[in-house]
Structure 1
């Protein structure tokens, strides 16, 4: 840049005239230059290129794409085909919007730090840009670039070979909604593209359990008959009491604007309580009463609260009589008279009529470590405050017998009549407003499977085949095969998932990988799971394909997600890949084009090269035939695309089961009532013929987990480790984003008293271990964690040394894949030990740790 150009730019930046600028410069030079303090030579260049302004950029509305609990708006600012920065909702984009608009009815859907940092993930050095074939050993990470023809022909030929040799269960569908979730490009266990593809190929073993909330899902279906048991989060603004049971909304955003509504509640006088082993940022934000509780003992404390409410006659008996089955003897169905075959009522169990042990606060104190007086105080507060929201989060249900915690919470919600009213809460799963979620073909081929097992038992199935009992893998019964067929799994598709980094007992998974004959990893990034693949397929990110984002399980809006930039490298969408594979399989199996045309009816084989017209046709049809027709939206498709977002204005806040309570509509259970006594569970005669495999009590009960702080195992492993979601990752997504790791470092939180006894200080490298694995990580010492508990956030990318020790702090090296009957993943049922260590710690693949967060913490 010339001196003259430098001067012109500076004049523009400072809004000076040329004369005033020269005059000021000369005066300054005379004042200090005479003293020899500075050089007066003109600058030759700027230290950095001037940042482009909005009028130099194209602005495109899109959204984030990951299952963090919501999908916020992102606004991409691009120059040419390069995104140079990302902003978010500022109120102006929806109809009748304007800059700064942010109301209770139409709040801004603002992106968090994760979404705002997406540009670094998009242009990451670890971005997978071309098909790759393995040339080294599994896990060695040695690949060579191959063509799409080579990759897809290899996969198609291997699929045919495995199906012919091992049958219709040989291929395992391990898709999930981690990175490819929209109404068109969908990775999902039920509605997903992979499930339909493998189902049409007639070779699919499915996974029936959801890691985040499977115990909760079972509870909601048994209790309410549906998983749509949630209020929209705007109802929290009307609560007088919010009990955050294992819930940290500062880190996990449910619905997009949870914090906004909780802030309104606080301003209106709402009281907050946190029941959790650690004092969270959410508790600090709302000045919550913190009740520390031993992990895995939540059902016992809830039972004690129910005991206090019953013995003090604080239950809403009218609500119980009208809407509940099995809450007490008076609400038992005729077919369940007596207590034979586990047909017990909840009140008598709580009062100790069956086992002679009243579930009193004193009884619970010995189990959960919460003083009996605090249990009584909280029970009284909850029973006498109207309306009150007991937000039973998913995390305490990610335990052995986690469904019992959720069922116990639902019983308390019902007995206090906090269901179906504004400001209360019934939620377990918490799905609320219904979105029209599928734009691609969802027909008779969707969700076809020939065996279905529990997701985290796939490695056990592979390692022990054929000597496996159906109950040990959660084998789902089929109508045509009542005993089920144990799948002979020989191949896996990882789609929208990083299961090797997220499922329990990683070392067991690694051992199982060596017995597979085909591992296909479809991702935009080379993840730890990808290192164990035979073929890596580069998948376009949501910035590089056309789609529409919908709220994940709360929130009432749609966000248009256009193709912001062209796909990097040779990336393709999942839909393109499966369509092309369908055509290849069709020709190789004598079907010709029939398979490909059936899989993607609007496309020809040209879809692999040019998907845009077909994607547009699917999305336009979805908008017009489902959103406009079913949801009475009057915004045309073209206007929606131009604006980027459609926010629904509800006539009244969405409250789950409002119609049942106010209008007498039946619940979707066999009895038409809230089933504290489950009709389904109470009538099972042979548990081995169910997908659960093992007995589940027909009413909520406290069941001792297989590992916990009152266990004899603490003699060897004295600490209980929990692995909550971090704020700086969505599971394992964003782990390789250095911007986020500069603010939050992967570390294990330990109580100050425990640390002092072990000689551990903040910043020390420590190792955590048990019989399943060993991890290395820095320590953070604090009083914000109860004694005996370690907190290690889930999702750190696996990084093994030559001895199989994880140097990155991946919690799932220590977790157990033991089957919990209702399907709950036992991520938080972990005993381990901790000590200072000289083993190597590596915080990330692309850098040494730059986080200096510990500098601002008071060391204890």
Structure 2
């Protein structure tokens, strides 16, 4: 008999209707079953609720805004709010743009739909880790002991300390470690070059800058040397016209550049495009496009590309007409007159000078890819037009990663796939140009008094003054001879969780103990924040007025109004820097830093922000980009999507119309005249020689190294799908879907006696972390995959229990500035050490530590 029938029979015998029974029990009436008897107590019907009834959709206000984090795209979010609380988030459904309607989604104006990360932003806004009040450290660095103070106390402390450090140690005392984490727009901008912090410290007169970008410095260097610009990308709709797509270390299912990449690649697939993946692991993107997977040993990409180039040259498959017209240094016939006798790319590939031809067999011994597969891929790429070799950033995050990117550019050029629809010159991938700056961008915008490679700050601090300029990538200023080693005594973290993200975290932790001022400006209490002296609560992008920019790809703007009032005592970055400017330099500094604001901007900022944004739209966007939508209409609709006459293709104008490339020669420089003419490398930011043509250079750690006897696994740390670097690590909705785990091949697991779910320790001479293991055939033997960005959680011995791979990475200076995140050897074993799937020693939430009466 069913439970329902039993209950109905019971109610019938008691002469109670279901409705009256529910009323009684809801009001608190007790039904006591004893010896088969039921006693009912009479009670009134309940009229109260434990919470307010959930509002209906038509009772909610909807506000168009966007994501703000640094994932490669900034998609539309639609906030549904009840009074001053965001109840839920949806995304673009076609109705918000001009001539829009529900369901509108065209190739010319596609919907800008947010992913799971963006859709879960509400939990991040209202998380237990939300930083709501200024805090000052009262314990040891990293101990997590802070007490609440007023804004007045916090800003007085910071301003006085800044003045003291500048007066005592000079103009290099303060290190700018801003980055485009979650504080990025046209007005409220955290950025190494155009950011609010850089402008503030530059005007103050004490700033050491960081010149290398962790994500893609290798390809930035390569693109500037080869093309003279980092704007080497197509808009992603161009991918729909490719007949061959080579995804070299690229997983667009996880990393989004442009917003609709996956849609256009699906279109290419439907039109017959063939897909190839070169990667140590078989990714979800490879699965989605039924790609030919070519597993490759990490850090050996340039060698495989050299083998492909050899096959193309020796079989006369190169596009010689393209080379003769557009390329410098591909062969003897394209070398500049002044470089007679210097090695060209063809000489290197054929072994003319070193006696070692870079044959597919030579490459096979290095990269582990069969020579026949190298030949097959080389023929496919050379003989298919148009073909896109998408040289992603990840293989460049290695020792000498710039050689991989330069070798890719050589292949792109020798096959004539640059500047044509369906081809690809990426690279950096920066495509359509946005008008990116709304705040005053003037002579103070990027002043610095010394600049070093970003992940060498700890080395500089720990070894000062006995530091050689090449050890830290010291930038050569025009007004100096030997270069001043910066005496760093303080750090500002703005829009960045760099302590958690830079290489060799243990070295960073050692260095930070020597600093006299560490300021963390964030909306969330991050691992970096635990090591700060001062925590300043920054409003999220839902709590300030701005406009969202696409990031390197995507041709649109999204209005970002203030959706809710700032929580707690949060302020915007611009409010904080403006107030500090007034406190440090009075009206002169304050007005110079924020010309449209008065002294009360720290308390009332809406009209000033509106004025900056309106001026930006009316004086930059409308005239420069021929936009026919007023600022008021843009605000009302929430989005402006550009409808381009044709797909944006990098260097189309150079190839079709003969416009010069932005290099000294006016051509694609496979032989770099700039590099070839450097005589003293120690007086450059690079510090060490970089060959003038692309070459294979053995990295300091790889599966070909004798070091594998001690550490037999090569560890790579790609971007996860469920975080953006470290952002969203504390979002339980996403953590329920994906877990931080280390992926190994089934054969390695059998050898080590491991099965999926076992807890392992991963270690080398630099550090150790603990994490569950995932066993699969989708990863090549000898390689381990551990996604970057997990929040560190250190035990008493300094072991990370949360699985952050940067406990094991090395901060050695790769000459062109590449971060060697993926140049890591390690070992793995089953362990009894504690694993903590949460973060830091305060378990699931660190919020309670700030409620102490300290």
Shared fold per TM-score greater than 0.5: yes
Q: Work out the CA distance in 2 between the residues paired with 1:576 and 1:456.
A: 29
Alignment equivalent of 1:254, drawn from 253, 257, 261: 257
Q: Does 1:196 align with 2:199?
A: yes
* CA displacement, residues 536-570 of structure 1 (integer Å, 9 cap, x when unaligned): 00000000000000101100000000000000000
Alignment equivalent of 1:598, drawn from 586, 589, 592: 592
Q: Does 1:751 align with 2:710?
A: no
CA offset at residue 109 of structure 1? 0.4
Q: Does 1:736 align with 2:716?
A: no
Aligned to 1:691: 685
Aligned to 1:415: 414
Distance verdict in 2 for CA 1:757–1:436, change over 3 Å: same
Q: Work out the CA distance in 2 between the residues paired with 1:73 and 1:812.
A: 32
Aligned to 1:705: 699
Q: Does 1:664 align with 2:658?
A: yes
Distance verdict in 2 for CA 1:569–1:832, change over 3 Å: same
- After the TM superposition, which parts of structure 1 deviate over 6 Å for at least 4 consecutive aligned residues? 26-32, 35-39, 45-49, 846-849
Aligned to 1:565: 564
Distance verdict in 2 for CA 1:35–1:304, change over 3 Å: farther
Q: In the TM superposition, what are the counterparts of 1:210-359 in structure 2 within 5 Å?
A: 210-339=213-342, 344-359=343-358
Q: Does 1:623 align with 2:617?
A: yes
* CA displacement, residues 686-737 of structure 1 (integer Å, 9 cap, x when unaligned): 0001100000000000000000001010000000000000000000000000
Aligned to 1:486: 485
Q: Does 1:97 align with 2:77?
A: no
Count of aligned pairs = 816
Q: In the TM superposition, what are the counterparts of 1:825-836 in structure 2 within 5 Å?
A: 825-836=819-830
* CA displacement, residues 327-348 of structure 1 (integer Å, 9 cap, x when unaligned): 0000000000002xxxx10011
Aligned to 2:36: none
Q: In the TM superposition, what are the counterparts of 1:453-852 in structure 2 within 5 Å?
A: 453-586=452-585, 592-845=586-839
CA offset at residue 100 of structure 1? 0.6
CA offset at residue 67 of structure 1? 1.2
Q: Over the residues paired in the alignment, what is the CA RMSD in angstroms?
A: 1.8
Q: Work out the CA distance in 2 between the residues paired with 1:833 and 1:728.
A: 26
SS in 1 for 2:646: coil
Aligned to 1:398: 397
CA offset at residue 53 of structure 1? 2.4
Please, which moves more after superposition, 40-49 or 759-768?
40-49
Aligned to 1:15: none
Aligned to 1:426: 425
SS in 1 for 2:22: coil
Preserved CA contact (<8 Å) 2:226 2:670: yes
CA offset at residue 483 of structure 1? 1.7
Preserved CA contact (<8 Å) 2:173 2:487: yes
Aligned to 2:852: none
SS in 1 for 2:582: helix
Structure 1 unaligned blocks of 5 or more: 1-25, 587-591, 850-860
Q: Work out the CA distance in 1 between the residues paired with 2:329 and 2:544.
A: 51
Preserved CA contact (<8 Å) 2:792 2:839: no
Q: Work out the CA distance in 1 between the residues paired with 2:532 and 2:6.
A: 65
Aligned to 1:858: none
CA offset at residue 133 of structure 1? 0.3
SS in 1 for 2:827: strand
Aligned to 1:9: none
Q: Does 1:368 align with 2:367?
A: yes
CA offset at residue 66 of structure 1? 1.0
* CA displacement, residues 122-162 of structure 1 (integer Å, 9 cap, x when unaligned): 00001000000000000101000000011000111011101
Q: Work out the CA distance in 2 between the residues paired with 1:33 and 1:156.
A: 73
Q: Does 1:183 align with 2:186?
A: yes
Q: Does 1:164 align with 2:144?
A: no
Q: Work out the CA distance in 1 between the residues paired with 2:321 and 2:834.
A: 62
Q: Work out the CA distance in 1 between the residues paired with 2:572 and 2:15.
A: 60
CA offset at residue 39 of structure 1? 7.9
SS in 2 for 1:522: strand
Aligned to 2:39: none
Distance verdict in 2 for CA 1:422–1:37, change over 3 Å: farther
SS in 2 for 1:806: coil
CA offset at residue 638 of structure 1? 0.5
Q: Work out the CA distance in 1 between the residues paired with 2:588 and 2:285.
A: 54
* CA displacement, residues 151-192 of structure 1 (integer Å, 9 cap, x when unaligned): 000111011101111000000000000010000000000000
Q: Work out the CA distance in 1 between the residues paired with 2:68 and 2:636.
A: 20
Preserved CA contact (<8 Å) 2:802 2:839: no
Q: Work out the CA distance in 2 between the residues paired with 1:138 and 1:550.
A: 36
Q: Work out the CA distance in 2 between the residues paired with 1:202 and 1:47.
A: 56
Q: Work out the CA distance in 2 between the residues paired with 1:625 and 1:656.
A: 26
Alignment equivalent of 2:22, drawn from 35, 42, 58: 42
Q: Work out the CA distance in 2 between the residues paired with 1:787 and 1:848.
A: 34
SS in 2 for 1:144: strand
Q: Work out the CA distance in 1 between the residues paired with 2:593 and 2:107.
A: 43
CA offset at residue 91 of structure 1? 0.7
Distance verdict in 2 for CA 1:606–1:315, change over 3 Å: same
Q: Work out the CA distance in 2 between the residues paired with 1:605 and 1:61.
A: 31
Q: Work out the CA distance in 1 between the residues paired with 2:10 and 2:665.
A: 89
SS in 2 for 1:463: helix
Q: Work out the CA distance in 1 between the residues paired with 2:16 and 2:562.
A: 51
CA offset at residue 95 of structure 1? 0.4
* CA displacement, residues 587-606 of structure 1 (integer Å, 9 cap, x when unaligned): xxxxx310000000000111
SS in 1 for 2:205: coil
Q: Work out the CA distance in 1 between the residues paired with 2:520 and 2:10.
A: 64
Q: Work out the CA distance in 1 between the residues paired with 2:414 and 2:377.
A: 15
SS in 2 for 1:403: helix
SS in 2 for 1:42: helix
SS in 2 for 1:126: coil
Q: Work out the CA distance in 1 between the residues paired with 2:482 and 2:560.
A: 45
SS in 2 for 1:507: helix
Preserved CA contact (<8 Å) 2:135 2:147: yes
Q: Work out the CA distance in 2 between the residues paired with 1:497 and 1:282.
A: 28
TM-score (norm 1): 0.93
Q: Work out the CA distance in 2 between the residues paired with 1:291 and 1:428.
A: 21
CA offset at residue 48 of structure 1? 8.6
* CA displacement, residues 414-469 of structure 1 (integer Å, 9 cap, x when unaligned): 00000000000001001000000000001001110000000000000000000000
Alignment equivalent of 1:85, drawn from 83, 88, 109: 88
Structure 2 unaligned blocks of 5 or more: 27-45, 845-854
